[in-house]
């Protein structure tokens, strides 16, 4: 399949926003999407971006059934491991359903890995839903391993009102 992987630009935010919604619909969590195209533009393309992104793009003659040439993306950012040093976190990896199984997802993931290695990272981290068996199998085939089952780690989150209380020192002990 003829496609390219390139850095995301400000102009790609409309398509990234569309694909984020497609991914959320696939995972049956679209009601949780609060991010807007404007948020993506500000957070990814300001002076101090919170994330970086790459786009999978096909030529015009191979565009999707819905007339899109941007058919996949990955968002990532750099983190730090107190045990291993520099790390890259892949927040999303998405390829439109009609383009899956053509090596695009693997190319996106490989590019994030290349960018991480170029930045001196020693690990690539990401999460995947346990119900997403095909993605889990895909990641395992790429040499990834499951920290939850192997080391017992749990991915935790604090948000909304709980985050506000925590920040105010209103701890529940």
* Domain coordinates in residue numbering, the chain: 4-167
Instruction: Write down the pTM of the prediction.
Output: 0.91
In the set 73, 76, 89, 139, the catalytic residue is: 139
Tens of pLDDT along 68-89?
999 999 999 999 999 999 999 9
At residue 173, the pLDDT reads 59
Instruction: Assign 149 a pLDDT band (cuts: 50, 70, 90).
Output: confident
Mean of per-residue pLDDT scores for the chain: 94
Distance of CA 160 to the CA centre of its chain: 22
Q: Give yes or no: 89 in active site.
A: no
At residue 79, φ and ψ (nearest 5 deg) are -130, -170
Which whole number is the average pLDDT over 14-24?
Answer: 96
If we measure between CA atoms, which residue out of 143, 19, 127 comes closest to residue 70?
19
The arithmetic mean of pLDDT across residues 15-27, rounded, is 94
Q: According to the per-residue pLDDT averaged within each range, which of 108-112, 132-136, 142-146 is highest?
A: 108-112
Mean pLDDT score, 55-64: 98
- Judge whether residue 170 has pLDDT over 90: no
Instruction: Give the contacts of 19 (CB within 8 A, at least 6 positions apart).
Output: 70, 72, 73, 94, 96
**Four-residue CA torsion sign, 39, 17, 136, 6:** negative
What separation, in Å, do the N-terminal and C-terminal C-alpha atoms of the chain show? 56
| Architecture of the CATH domain 4-167 | 3-Layer(aba) Sandwich (3.40)
């Amino acid at each position: 399949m003829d496609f390219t992987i390139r850095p995301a630009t400000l102009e790609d935010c409309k398509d990234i926003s569309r694909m984020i919604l497609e991914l959320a619909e696939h995972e049956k969590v679209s009601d949780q999407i609060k991010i807007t195209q404007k948020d993506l533009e500000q957070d990814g393309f300001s002076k101090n971006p919170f994330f970086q992104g790459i786009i999978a793009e096909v030529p015009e003659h191979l565009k999707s059934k819905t007339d899109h040439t941007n058919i996949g993306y990955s968002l990532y950012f750099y983190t730090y491991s107190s045990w291993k040093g520099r790390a890259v976190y892949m927040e999303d990896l998405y390829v439109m359903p009609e383009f899956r199984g053509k090596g695009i997802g693997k190319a996106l993931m490989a590019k994030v890995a290349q960018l991480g290695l170029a930045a001196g990272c020693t690990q690539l981290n990401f999460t995947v839903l346990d119900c997403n068996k095909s993605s889990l199998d895909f990641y395992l085939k790429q040499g990834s391993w499951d920290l939850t089952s192997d080391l017992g780690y749990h991915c935790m989150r604090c948000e909304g009102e709980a985050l506000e209380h925590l920040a105010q020192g209103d701890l529940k002990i």
